[in-house]
Structure 1
Amino acid sequence: MLSIIDHLPPGLLEVTPVQLNQVLTGPTLIHLKGRREPPLFISVLLHGDEITGFLALQALLRRYTERGLPRSLSLFIGNVAAACDGCRRFDTQPDYNRIWKGGDTPEHAMAQQILEKMREREVFACVDAHNNTGLNPHYACITHLEQGFLHLASLFSRTVVYFQRPENVLSRAFGDLCPSITVECGQPCTKYSVSHTLEFLEACLHLSEIPQHPVDDIDLYHTIATVRVPAKLSFGFGDCQRELCLIANLDHLNFQELPVGTLLGKLNISSEQYFEVVDEKGHNVTAQYFKVDKQEIRTICPVIPAMFTVNEQAIRQDCIGYLMERLKKGVQDLSWTRPPK
């Protein structure tokens, strides 16, 4: 199902994401020669409605139509079919950012094919570009607390999130090959999200090497749990008649430390299952973070949300968002430790 080519298809730099089927037949890996090797890997449109990365990539490549690339590029344009429909993914498809470990679908086989091709090319670094459906700052995500990863992330934002789950995302798989990050470029279709991502990709393209000295000027967070809605529950936002009513401005809580007792929603039925909160080890830890009191769902400890969304489709297909804690850097070494409670 994967096309691998060594040139830009005619029209690729002009089409909109919903027109991609005019120039691509499906997921496509494009190798472009530049002055430096090995190649920088850039992934866009793993989710079809997260278009900032693709728009920034088009703008980047237009800058070099009349001159050579500073470094070779390997570009993966992911869920073309979903992009043409303007959706995250089809219900009949796996999530293109959950296929990079295990699995027996054609999409999982495609992911392993891409990893093997980039291993052969001794990939320089990996950037996977995404958007958020909720209100979040622009930030970078890493799966390894190594200086190369931290430096690459700090080029995009001083806000950096370290995570270990989900285990089957692209940036984690590429982390075994090279410094690898996910960039969360805010909401799609904003000028700043495209311009910021464009300048970051430009900076990556001109790197001769990735520094290894310590990175200091960042705000580092650690994702400790994923929050989902049980599949059997109906849900909505605000003053609704669904079984679970989340607060209308849920995404306004992102990247703020919520005090004990913060209201997140109301449960309109008698049930002990309202959230499914899973930690890094896959354990259900809902009771460690939330409780229901007089039908109201409230926090029972301080916590920092990220990527909380009010997009119902994103919640059904993925999650409400994540819970985080702050990390601080060790003084004597490169380790990172939790701050004291």
Structure 2
Amino acid sequence: MKLTEYHYLPEGLLERPASSLYRQLDGPTLIHLPGLRQEPLFISVLQHGNEDTGWEAVRRLLKSHYSFDPLPRSVSLLIGNVEAARFNKRRLDNQPDYNRCWPQEKSGGHESEVHNTFRHVYDIMQAKNPFAAIDIHNNTGLNPHYAAINQLDNRFFRLAALFSNTVVYFTIPEGVLSNAFSNFCPAVTLECGLAGNIHGTDHTLAYLESCLHLPQLDNIPLPGEEMGLFHMVATVKVDANLDIGFGGNGHELSLIENLDHMNFRELETNTLFGYTRDKTTLPFITTDMHGKNVSGKFFSFEDGEIRTTHPIMPSMLTMDQKVIHQDCLCYLMERMDPQHSRAGHDEPLPEPTGLEGIDN
């Protein structure tokens, strides 16, 4: 896989929806556009082919700016998985997850062509000294719009809070773009709700406009009321071969109906997640940020019922079976105090609270 690089906007590209980009682009494509401020804003779209909000926002952004006036700041735009976008898929079955293929400190084993391509992108952008990096995503369950960061730093907080006052700090999974770019610039992952929702596109477009006009990101603490900070503490996965359904008891794993309505809600101890036909083995594999199996810490299993063992807050719960098998069922979070985190402590507060009434 070879990276295509342009220093201009290819003619007709902005007229194409995500599903048609494959007709003009052979694969991952990096486009550099000049602006009044030289340090570029790096924008990544379509790392997952069925998450097109970022591309729709960028199309509107560049149509409004690039056709008439100079950009307020230079832009480096990465267009990712056009092959999967053709079929409206997160990734094709023969592809790795593009957002697990970025350089990381502990890189072991064989690296794919995608890893090598993204290492090339990483090296190019590091040399350009970006102002900030923004990786735009959608999710498949009901979630608020939120921003995710990989460093507890005031500049990162400000970049994230400009999009949403709901901010998630995470260190797992490995190989994600925002974590890699955090080595040399403030970086954020945007979660913009369901693909195809015009509110997500509008929100993302307004955010990109704001970022382009920012002269700098101040290293000054945010007032507490401007950001709710959460720490991702565990990932919940299920076996890729397990038959999954929702409601009833007709599957190997029957999750409750409307499971994704629990996203960003603090769940009480003993909350039911679902049922399993095999009454001897917990079907969830829950790992902490160090890769340790902590399933028993978060879930109990008795008479085929899966329940929580103490209050937890899930995010990214989805009812898309393909996503559950390819990625995960959800992530588990706890609330953090930004002041506490800046003092060098990662421990969550002892009494996390829910997110009722959050401003997205």
TM over 0.5: same fold?
yes
Q: Matches of 2:35 and 2:52 in 1, distance apart?
A: 25
Partner of 1:6: 7
Q: CA deviation at 1:231?
A: 2.5
Q: CA deviation at 1:334?
A: 4.9
Q: Matches of 1:263 and 1:320 in 2, distance apart?
A: 15
Question: Deviations along 1:179-199, whole A, 9 cap, x unmatched?
Answer: 000000000111100000000
Three-state SS of the structure 2 residue aligned to 1:20 is helix
One-letter code aligned to 1:257: E
Aligned match of 1:75 in 69, 72, 77?
A: 77
Q: CA deviation at 1:233?
A: 2.1
Unpaired stretches in structure 1, ≥5 consecutive residues: none
TM-score, length basis structure 1: 0.97
Question: Is the contact between residue 240 and residue 326 of structure 2 (CA under 8 Å) also seen in structure 1?
Answer: no
Question: Deviations along 1:249-296, whole A, 9 cap, x unmatched?
Answer: 110000000000100000112332310001000001000010112211
Aligned match of 1:160 in 144, 164, 167?
A: 167
| RMSD (Å), alpha carbons | 1.3
Q: Matches of 2:84 and 2:184 in 1, distance apart?
A: 28
Q: CA deviation at 1:232?
A: 3.7
Aligned match of 2:301 in 292, 298, 318?
A: 292
Partner of 1:128: 135
Deviates more, 1:168-177 or 1:223-232: 223-232
Unpaired stretches in structure 2, ≥5 consecutive residues: 352-360
Aligned pairs for 1:121-270 (under 5 A) are 121-216=128-223, 217-270=226-279
Question: Is the contact between residue 151 and residue 182 of structure 2 (CA under 8 Å) also seen in structure 1?
Answer: yes
Q: Matches of 2:350 and 2:248 in 1, distance apart?
A: 38
Deviates more, 1:8-17 or 1:166-175: 8-17
Q: Matches of 2:258 and 2:158 in 1, distance apart?
A: 33
Question: Is the contact between residue 329 and residue 335 of structure 1 (CA under 8 Å) also seen in structure 2?
Answer: no
Residue 3 and residue 338 in structure 1: after superposition, are their counterparts in 2 closer, same or farther (change >3 A)?
A: same
Q: Matches of 2:342 and 2:179 in 1, distance apart?
A: 23
One-letter code aligned to 1:73: V
Question: Is the contact between residue 140 and residue 194 of structure 2 (CA under 8 Å) also seen in structure 1?
Answer: yes
Alignment of 1:53 onto 2:61:
no
Q: Matches of 2:83 and 2:39 in 1, distance apart?
A: 30
Q: Matches of 2:249 and 2:87 in 1, distance apart?
A: 29
Q: CA deviation at 1:177?
A: 1.1
Which structure 1 residue ranges, 4+ long, deviate > 3 Å from structure 2?
A: 331-337
One-letter code aligned to 1:265: G
Three-state SS of the structure 1 residue aligned to 2:147 is strand
Question: Is the contact between residue 52 and residue 138 of structure 2 (CA under 8 Å) also seen in structure 1?
Answer: yes
Question: Is the contact between residue 10 and residue 23 of structure 1 (CA under 8 Å) also seen in structure 2?
Answer: no
TM-score, length basis structure 2: 0.92
Three-state SS of the structure 1 residue aligned to 2:162 is helix
Q: Matches of 1:331 and 1:247 in 2, distance apart?
A: 36
Residue 130 and residue 222 in structure 1: after superposition, are their counterparts in 2 closer, same or farther (change >3 A)?
A: same
Aligned match of 2:91 in 45, 64, 89?
A: 89
Q: Matches of 1:128 and 1:234 in 2, distance apart?
A: 32
One-letter code aligned to 2:102: W
Q: Matches of 2:228 and 2:272 in 1, distance apart?
A: 26
Question: Deviations along 1:131-171, whole A, 9 cap, x unmatched?
Answer: 01000000000000001100000000000000000121000
Partner of 2:314: 305
Question: Deviations along 1:205-241, whole A, 9 cap, x unmatched?
Answer: 1111111110121011000000001234221111152
